[in-house]
Amino acid sequence: MNTGRHEFELIAWIRQQTRAHDRIPLGIGDDTAALAFPNPANCLVTVDMLMEGVHFTMPPATPRQIGHKALAVNLSDIAAMAGRPLAAVISLALPRGVPAKLAEELYAGIEELADQFDVAIAGGDTNSWQGPLVISITALGETTDRGAVTRSGARPGDAIFVTGGLGGSLAGKHLDFTPRINEASKLHEAVDLHAMLDVSDGLAADLQHIVEESGVGVILEESEIPISPAAQTAAEEDGRSAWDHALSDGEDFELLFTVSGDDAARLLANSPLEIPLSRIGTVVDGNEMQLRTAAGKVIPLPVSGWKHLL
Amino acid sequence: MNTGRHEFELIAWIRQQTRAHDRIPLGIGDDTAALAFPNPANCLVTVDMLMEGVHFTMPPATPRQIGHKALAVNLSDIAAMAGRPLAAVISLALPRGVPAKLAEELYAGIEELADQFDVAIAGGDTNSWQGPLVISITALGETTDRGAVTRSGARPGDAIFVTGGLGGSLAGKHLDFTPRINEASKLHEAVDLHAMLDVSDGLAADLQHIVEESGVGVILEESEIPISPAAQTAAEEDGRSAWDHALSDGEDFELLFTVSGDDAARLLANSPLEIPLSRIGTVVDGNEMQLRTAAGKVIPLPVSGWKHLL
């Protein structure tokens, strides 16, 4: 990680902020960090880059919210594997001339979420340039004893579930959401998760990932999709239906997963979660994505194209 | 890792290019990758971000060179710990409208170097936007049985060595260099490396990192600094001395390290390397950086400020 002199001060500040962690025998201040993984046979690694003007605009987003989101989207990916996050490294392109306070707030947003989930900040690369703000975080984690839950394990007969409510995330949730680390962990203990991911591209688009990776078809129940209040508000504003928002807005960062019929009954009778859990459809043979309408008719699922927020 | 529809094609192409690797039980195509580290108690992790207009301009840099450099700077950091690189993840902001060929060439540059050092490409996040090209690579590695070589182990009495020649990297080397992975490994086997880093900020600035982290002083020998032919050329062009270029240009990506006097004699008598190895100074008590001139006079080291290339 090489450094311009004008970045040294910020890095010294970050180094001061970053607490020692027994998982990080060597942290910020050398050429690499060294990590001691508790269960290193199954390291999870994921990276997400957020770009100003694409994934956020500032304002209305605050630097603290951007820092939060940059780590949260990564933790959401680790949640999607039912994994436990352990460490993260951060690379940053700061617009030249922004006040030092901005970078500090950005890191404060990262640190706050890192502390909440005991994620060690192991290092980073801080740069400045004439361009917009870019932040890329790589998160490292580990699987639990039950292993990683992939996208490819859905089987015909499975029930499809989703946590929380969907749609309208752009109004605020995409900046403030809590990654479903704890919920994924509780589900992983309670039942045999066949396939799982986090809803980032939108319910329909993400369901398609499971369809493709598992080699199955799905039938969604129109009347069971959990529509968030934010989707209702968005619908009132733009005239599209709230249901359409729930299906295709994306950036919900809820868990979408499939389990056997028996486990589905168990979850519906006694959910281990404190947030809503909805059974929204069924995995079937084939490779089609279909919708059972409220009137009981089965039709091809109308997939709205995923659009970049903004 | 979430995805816009227009990035899916590129990702499918990348996935096709990326060979299966027994170190990566789960590669591109899920929410995270899973890695199986051979020796997981000591994972090394480092990240570097390269930005168009700061770390390269295109042209003259080709996409293939940029891909090469983006991975090479990370491998150089792992070399600086005398570690072995294992895997990498890539996040990318592509200027909207660039030809698909550009992204493919960028990845080809990465893959070629990854193959050379058996680095598994485990995943990534590919985006497009209106801004310039940004690429951030996180590399993961492991230490050898002899442990990681940090910046903090230099002791008074140590000899200071550097590999290769220094200065003038901007003329081309910064895009094409081979990270000193193999050289670091051979040195680590041959002698007891007390402190090491890769020369990225410039010899004087990087030596200062060792001075600060080890709590020592240094005396450099003016006449022993290995001046590269590129530094000579740069000097003819801009009128600064070749020596000054060697001291402060940066991006040399050579190894700078300290060893005991006995090990120094051993290295000078019988170097394990096929590239030049120069003894350039001595570690002393205190915290000063000094220079012994060709005339034998000891003066404070004139440290030119590090400047961003370009």
Task: State CA A23 to chain mean position distance.
Answer: 24
Residue A304 pLDDT level (bands cut at 50, 70, 90)? low
Segments of chain A assigned to CATH 3.90.650.10: 159-300
Question: Do A257 and A206 contact (CB within 8 A), yes or no?
Answer: no
Kindly determine whether residue A306 and residue B4, on different chains, have CB atoms separated by under 8 Å. Answer: yes
- Which among B47, B129, B307 has CB closest to A124? B47
**Ramachandran quadrant class, A286 (left: phi over 0; alpha: psi -120 to 50; beta: rest):** left
Residue A14 pLDDT level (bands cut at 50, 70, 90)? confident
- Which among B136, B198, B251 has CB closest to A31? B198
Residues A275-294 have pLDDT tens digits of 999 999 999 999 999 999 99
Residues A172-226 have pLDDT tens digits of 999 999 999 999 999 999 999 999 999 999 999 999 999 999 999 999 999 999 9
DSSP-assigned letter for residue B258? E
Can you state the angle between helices B181-190 and B261-269, rounded to 10 degrees?
Answer: 120
Q: Does B53 touch chain A (CB under 8 A)?
A: yes
The Cβ of residue A84 has, within 10 Å, a number of other Cβ atoms equal to 21
As for the ipTM of the complex, it is 0.90
Instruction: Write down the pLDDT at residue A99.
Output: 86
Q: Does A140 touch chain B (CB under 8 A)?
A: yes
- Superfamily for B159-300? PurM-like C-terminal domain (3.90.650.10)
- The helix/strand/coil state of B72 is helix
Chain B residue numbers with beta carbons less than 8 Å from the beta carbon of A41 are: 36-37, 40
The response to whether B30 counts as a known ligand-binding position is no
- Superfamily for A5-142? PurM-like, N-terminal domain (3.30.1330.10)
Q: Does A179 touch chain B (CB under 8 A)?
A: no
Kindly determine whether residue A46 and residue B78, on different chains, have CB atoms separated by under 8 Å. Answer: no
- Which among B41, B77, B125 has CB closest to A49? B125
Kindly determine whether residue B47 and residue A151, on different chains, have CB atoms separated by under 8 Å. Answer: no
Q: What's the mean pLDDT in A10-30?
A: 72
Residues A218-274 have pLDDT tens digits of 999 999 999 999 999 999 999 999 999 999 999 999 999 999 999 999 999 999 999
The structure tokens listed for B94 are: 């592509």
Distance, in angstroms, between B296 CA and closest chain A CA?
31
Q: Does B163 touch chain A (CB under 8 A)?
A: no
The structure tokens listed for B270 are: 């019988």
Kindly determine whether residue A54 and residue B200, on different chains, have CB atoms separated by under 8 Å. Answer: no
Instruction: Write down the pLDDT at residue A2.
Output: 44
d(CA B298, CA B280): 14
For residue B59, whether the previous peptide bond is cis, meaning omega lies within 30 degrees of 0, is yes
The response to whether B248 counts as a known ligand-binding position is no
d(CA B102, CA B13): 13
Residue A8 has pLDDT above 70, yes or no: no
Kindly determine whether residue B73 and residue A251, on different chains, have CB atoms separated by under 8 Å. Answer: no
Q: What is the residue-wise DSSP string for A90-102?
A: EEEEEETT--HHH
The structure tokens listed for B246 are: 């060697």
Segments of chain A assigned to CATH 3.30.1330.10: 5-142
Low-confidence ranges of chain B (pLDDT < 50): 1-3, 5, 305-310
Closest residue in chain B to residue A74, using alpha carbons only: B1
